Amino acid sequence: MTISRKWLLGLACSLGVFANNALAADTSTSQANTEAGALIGFVLPTQEVVRYPHEFAWFEAELAKYGDKAIVGYANSNATTMTNVAQNMFQQGIKVLVIDPVDAVAGGILTKQAQALGIKVVTYDTDVTGATPDWWVGRSGVQLGYQHVDSALAAKPCGNYAIIRGDKGYTNYHLISEAYDAKLLKTECVNVVFDADSQGWVTSAAMKNAEAAIQKSADVAAIVCMWDNCAQAAVQALKIAGKKPGEVYVTGTDSSPQSMLLIAAGWQGMSSFTPIHDMAVAAAKLAHSLTTGKDLPKPTSVQDGKSLLELKPILVNRENLCDFTKNVAPEGWGISLDQLAEAGLKCE
């Protein structure tokens, strides 16, 4: 499939991410917020994953257009740290909390605490349990999981499979697992010889799991990873084991720069990309609108009293990697066509 920025814009419009009047706030609103902008907190899981600092930068830049100020805190994949970071933001006087929770239950508690203080809550990418945030902005975890499974099965219809999942505390873990369990575990000629979680989505935990999977089955056909850092760890383990590019199919998520190079070289089979620039900007626009009560977007859907803005993940593989790099990858994502060529993929 050919993907382009124009296509993404069309997707955003079809989702109703923002009506035209939300793309440019009216003059009176803009002037008011310039004089006394709102403070908005953004809590992200970790700096270990390359996408998150980029997302905060886009989020911060968008809010600055309205005179708002963004502050960021990283949870370091720890629920206690996440709680401390968010509660510190409460004390600083934030008007909106945008949070990608590392633990769904702890995130639900924080949501209730924030709302009791009159703070609007937007869950970002990952949802919470035990509470109803005002909005959720993110991607379809189930669809993402099916992209992993369908791609792996197309490349390796039969054989021994390893599944390396993330952390059960995240709602996305369960959404992606829904696809894994519904299809991969029920395919007749697929034998899942290894299936393990990785606490905190930590790369070192994924590396241990990848090594254990290869030890369990030297002829493993596929390693289905939920995220790119896991895929990169799996590739490292496969290289140590003497495997060749393409011999074992590896999946991932986020189309991070390192994984793009691994896809170009044939080591990683695919990665699911979410238009994270669009997602961060949409979250910023939404947060600003929540502070003013104006120009709120039309939700994709409403579930259990919560408005949703859902973006669809894009499957990136060697076939469309050149097009992705030229037309879709966010500015500053860090991979050039020359680098792809050095990795083994020459783009026209």
pLDDT band at 10 (very low <50, low <70, confident <90, very high): very low
Least confident of 41-55, 156-170, 326-340: 326-340
Structural contact between residues 165 and 184, judged by C-beta atoms closer than 8 angstroms: no
d(CA 255, CA 261): 10
Least confident of 67-76, 169-178, 305-314: 305-314
Residue pLDDT, tens place only, 80-94: 999 999 999 999 999
d(CA 298, CA 311): 13
Note the pLDDT of residue 333: 83
What are the residue boundaries of the structural domains of the chain, listed by start?
Answer: 5-139+274-311, 141-273+315-343
Residue pLDDT, tens place only, 109-168: 999 999 999 999 999 999 999 999 999 999 889 999 999 999 999 999 999 999 999 999
d(CA 107, CA 144): 22
Residue pLDDT, tens place only, 278-319: 999 999 999 999 999 998 998 888 877 888 888 889 999 999
Note the pLDDT of residue 306: 81
Note the pLDDT of residue 36: 66
311 Cβ neighbours under 8 A, 6+ residues apart: 11, 12, 15, 17, 138, 139, 140, 274, 275, 278, 279, 282
- The CATH homologous superfamily of the domain defined by 5-139+274-311: Response regulator (3.40.50.2300)
pLDDT band at 18 (very low <50, low <70, confident <90, very high): very low
Which CATH number describes the domain made up of 141-273+315-343?
A: 3.40.50.2300
Say whether 141-273+315-343 and 5-139+274-311 share the same fold: yes
Residue 64 has pLDDT above 50, yes or no: yes
pTM of this prediction?
A: 0.80
Structural contact between residues 43 and 75, judged by C-beta atoms closer than 8 angstroms: yes
Rounded to 10°, the helix 276-292/27-35 angle is: 90
